[in-house]
């Protein structure tokens, strides 16, 4: 395998050679540099922003800027994304046609270089302060309108006090083995639900409340917790309005609920170090296309929802936020043979996403119609709220990103690579990312280099196999410095930290 990551696998001779890699030391100007800069800003995190590679978040604790490069054909995914949206200069003074052309170029570049660029850090620091105002303006473009709530709003009382219902959208979560936990206004804590009286109807209604169409499986599990929730009279209220706080459950049996059949591979033989994936190995892997080209990866988590990275939708480019311009492909292991696409109904970018630090780099796509699961198309499981995988756990990441740092085109084949979870304390050390990894991020790769994701992999999955053998979506490919470099592992959005946001948006957009 080559030295870069996910795509870091020796490429077939048929692949087109990518253009030169723009690195920090060599301040080469990439094609259409002004577009790239205008759309995505200088560069990665803490290094001189001369490069246009993917966005690397460099070590400096300073806010890093991403580097994204657009291209006419649409970005190649950016793995480590972090497209720095520069802003004002973006479209200033251009005519409609030129705008569209630039937009396509910008997206392409963003995907291509956005995420993994390790070099442009230093300059970034300068641009960070200089363009702070622009970043804020750009952010507003992709942020949904905030909810309006009454002064007497009570969280999780089963009564909608807010226009969009956000006061009732974070009242359910899942623990290990699908243990259902509900928060009510009576207690304020998340408590298990007693199994007595529970049935398929409750299961289906609870899953539907969370944005799933129905439940997949439910059972009783033992709980040692002294306080729990008992079911009261059945009603049309959400689950938090159908339970009462109790001192215990009969026989300590509480509810385990699984809303979707997930995390199952149809094929499991893999080669560590980077290789071409086979159909059915990573059935939740999706390819997001804009302008007819692969731009980012995505992860199917239910028949209706896709999880991906927020940086795939740069705020300064309004057309990128137009759901009708995107196509989503599932069950794909080669870009040369694409099935009928899924259409997108809505793009939901995390309103707290910070395009300077890459914090909370997550977005959700609501599909226009539900996906039919097949051997090649299956959802990944969302993790338990407290799911952790210790340092050294072997997990897998996949994508259509480039197989070499700085490559101009993404891989035609779906690539896979095994990566190790790296303790955040190690990742935030001065030798690695110097404090740039937030509580909403995690690191995975190989500190010796060689196994990593790369540009174009952005928005794709980092999955780990749980004790029940099901594959959990642990991370979303976000950023990094270079591809496969020593002490520069991939940085992923930590899904468990953003579960409340994911479930709340799925609930508010439930089909």
Q: What is the 3-state secondary structure (H, E, C) of 475-508?
A: EEEEEECCCCCCCCCEEEEEHHHHHHHHHHHHHH
Which residue intervals of 304-351 are DSSP H helices? none
Least confident of 21-30, 107-116, 227-236: 21-30
Burial of 142 (0-12, 13-18, 19+ CB in 10 A): buried
The tokens for 276 are 């071409």
Burial of 14 (0-12, 13-18, 19+ CB in 10 A): exposed
Whole-number pLDDT of residue 165: 83
Whole-number pLDDT of residue 118: 31
User: How does DSSP classify residue 384?
Assistant: P
Whole-number pLDDT of residue 328: 98
Mean pLDDT of 127-134: 35
pLDDT of 85 higher than 90 = no
Whole-number pLDDT of residue 402: 67
Q: Note the pLDDT tens digit of each residue in 425-449.
A: 999 999 999 999 999 999 999 998 8
Whole-number pLDDT of residue 192: 96
pLDDT of 22 higher than 60 = no
Q: Which residues contact 506 (CB under 8 A, 6 or more apart)?
A: 210, 211, 212, 302, 305, 364
For residue 327, report the phi and psi dihedrals to the nearest 5 degrees. Answer: -130, 140
Whole-number pLDDT of residue 109: 47
Q: Which member of 458, 481, 496, 504 is catalytic?
A: 458
Q: Note the pLDDT tens digit of each residue in 263-321.
A: 998 765 554 456 788 888 999 999 999 999 999 999 999 999 999 999 999 977 778 99
Per 3-state DSSP, what percentage of the chain is helix, strand, and coil (rounded to 5)?
20, 25, 60
Mean pLDDT of 458-463: 95
Is residue 388 within 8 A of residue 333, CB to CB? The reply is no
- Model-level pTM? 0.74
Q: Report which of residues 467 and 124 the model is more confident about.
A: 467
The tokens for 223 are 């709980």
**Structural domains of the chain ordered from first start:** 166-258 (3.10.250.10), 282-367 (2.40.10.10), 393-496 (2.40.10.10)
Least confident of 88-97, 105-114, 474-483, 496-505: 88-97
Indicate the average pLDDT of the chain: 74
User: What is the tally of helices (H) and strands (E) in the chain?
Assistant: 7, 20
Task: Give the up-direction half-sphere exposure of residue 297: CA atoms within 13 A in the CB hemisphere.
Answer: 43
Give the pLDDT band of residue 408 (cuts 50, 70, 90): low
Mean pLDDT of 45-62: 30
Least confident of 55-59, 216-220, 298-302, 384-388: 55-59
CA 507/CA 511 separation, integer angstroms: 9
Give the pLDDT band of residue 398 (cuts 50, 70, 90): very high
Which residue intervals of 68-184 are DSSP H helices? 96-113, 121-130, 132-141
Q: Quick check: is 458 catalytic? A: yes
Is residue 364 within 8 A of residue 381, CB to CB? The reply is no
Pairing, β 305-308 against β 490-494:
unpaired
Closest to 480 in 3D by CA, of 446, 450, 448, 443: 443
Q: Quick check: is 361 catalytic? A: yes
Closest to 494 in 3D by CA, of 378, 358, 296, 315: 358
pLDDT of 52 higher than 90 = no
Tokens 């301040």 belong to residue: 27
CA 85/CA 372 separation, integer angstroms: 36
CA 194/CA 202 separation, integer angstroms: 12
Task: Give the up-direction half-sphere exposure of residue 209: CA atoms within 13 A in the CB hemisphere.
Answer: 25
Q: Which member of 125, 157, 304, 361 is catalytic?
A: 361
Whole-number pLDDT of residue 99: 42
Whole-number pLDDT of residue 9: 34
Is residue 68 within 8 A of residue 106, CB to CB? The reply is yes
CA 304/CA 300 separation, integer angstroms: 8
Q: Report which of residues 337 and 456 the model is more confident about.
A: 337
286-299 residues labelled b (16+ CB within 10 A) or e (exposed): bbbbbbebbbbbbb
H helix or E strand, kind and range, residue 208: helix 200-209
Q: Which residues contact 292 (CB under 8 A, 6 or more apart)?
A: 73, 74
Whole-number pLDDT of residue 239: 94
Whole-number pLDDT of residue 187: 86
Mean pLDDT of 477-489: 86
pLDDT of 338 higher than 90 = yes
The tokens for 406 are 């700085």
Mean pLDDT of 354-362: 95
Other CB atoms closer than 10 Å to residue 96's CB: what's the count? 8
Q: Note the pLDDT tens digit of each residue in 158-211.
A: 888 787 788 888 899 999 999 999 999 888 899 999 999 999 999 999 999 999
Whole-number pLDDT of residue 269: 54
pLDDT of 458 higher than 50 = yes
Burial of 43 (0-12, 13-18, 19+ CB in 10 A): buried
Whole-number pLDDT of residue 4: 32
Q: Quick check: is 311 catalytic? A: yes
Q: Which member of 87, 311, 496, 504 is catalytic?
A: 311
């Amino acid at each position: 395998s080559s030295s870069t990551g996910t795509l870091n696998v020796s490429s077939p001779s048929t692949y087109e050679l990518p253009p030169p890699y723009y690195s920090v030391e060599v301040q080469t100007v990439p094609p259409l540099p002004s577009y790239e800069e205008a759309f995505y800003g200088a560069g990665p995190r803490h290094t001189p922003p001369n490069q246009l590679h993917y966005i690397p978040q460099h070590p400096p604790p300073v806010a890093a800027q991403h580097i994204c490069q657009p291209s006419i054909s649409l970005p190649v995914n950016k793995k480590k994304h972090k497209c720095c949206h520069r802003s004002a200069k973006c479209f200033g003074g251009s005519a409609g046609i030129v705008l569209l052309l630039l937009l396509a170029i910008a997206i392409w570049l963003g995907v291509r270089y956005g995420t993994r660029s390790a070099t442009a850090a230093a300059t970034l620091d300068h641009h960070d302060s200089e363009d702070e105002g622009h970043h804020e303006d750009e952010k507003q473009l992709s942020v949904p309108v905030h909810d309006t709530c009454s002064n007497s709003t009570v969280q999780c009382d089963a009564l909608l006090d807010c226009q969009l219902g956000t006061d009732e959208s974070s009242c359910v979560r899942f623990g290990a083995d699908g243990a259902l936990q509900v928060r009510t206004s009576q207690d304020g804590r998340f408590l298990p639900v007693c199994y007595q009286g529970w049935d398929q109807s409750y299961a289906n209604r609870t899953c539907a409340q969370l944005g799933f169409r129905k439940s997949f499986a439910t059972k009783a599990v033992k709980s040692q917790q002294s306080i729990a929730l008992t079911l009261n009279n059945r009603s049309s209220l959400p689950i938090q309005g159908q339970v009462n706080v109790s001192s215990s459950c009969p026989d300590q049996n509480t509810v385990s609920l699984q809303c979707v059949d997930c995390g199952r591979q149809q094929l499991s033989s893999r080669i560590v170090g980077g290789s071409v994936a086979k159909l059915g190995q990573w059935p939740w892997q999706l390819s997001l296309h804009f302008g007819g080209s692969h731009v980012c990866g995505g992860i199917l988590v239910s028949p209706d929802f896709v999880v991906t990275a927020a940086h795939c939708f740069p705020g300064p480019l309004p057309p990128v936020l137009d759901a009708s311009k995107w196509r989503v492909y599932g069950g794909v292991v080669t870009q040369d043979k694409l099935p009928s696409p899924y259409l997108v109904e809505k793009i939901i970018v995390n309103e707290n996403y910070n395009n300077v630090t890459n914090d909370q780099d997550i977005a959700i796509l609501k599909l226009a119609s539900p996906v039919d699961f097949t051997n090649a198309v299956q959802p990944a499981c969302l993790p338990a709220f407290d799911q952790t995988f210790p340092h050294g756990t072997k997990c897998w990441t996949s994508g259509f990103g480039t197989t070499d740092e700085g490559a101009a085109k993404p891989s035609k084949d779906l690539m896979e690579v095994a990566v190790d979870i790296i303790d955040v304390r190690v990742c935030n050390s001065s030798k690695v990312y110097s404090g740039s990894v937030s509580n909403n991020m995690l690191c995975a790769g190989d500190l010796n280099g060689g196994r990593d994701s790369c540009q174009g992999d952005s928005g794709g999955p980092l999955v780990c196999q749980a004790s029940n053998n099901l594959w959990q979506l642990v991370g979303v490919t976000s950023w990094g410095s270079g591809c496969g470099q020593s002490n520069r592992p991939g940085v992923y959005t930590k899904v468990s930290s953003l579960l409340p946001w994911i479930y709340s948006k799925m609930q508010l957009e439930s089909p």
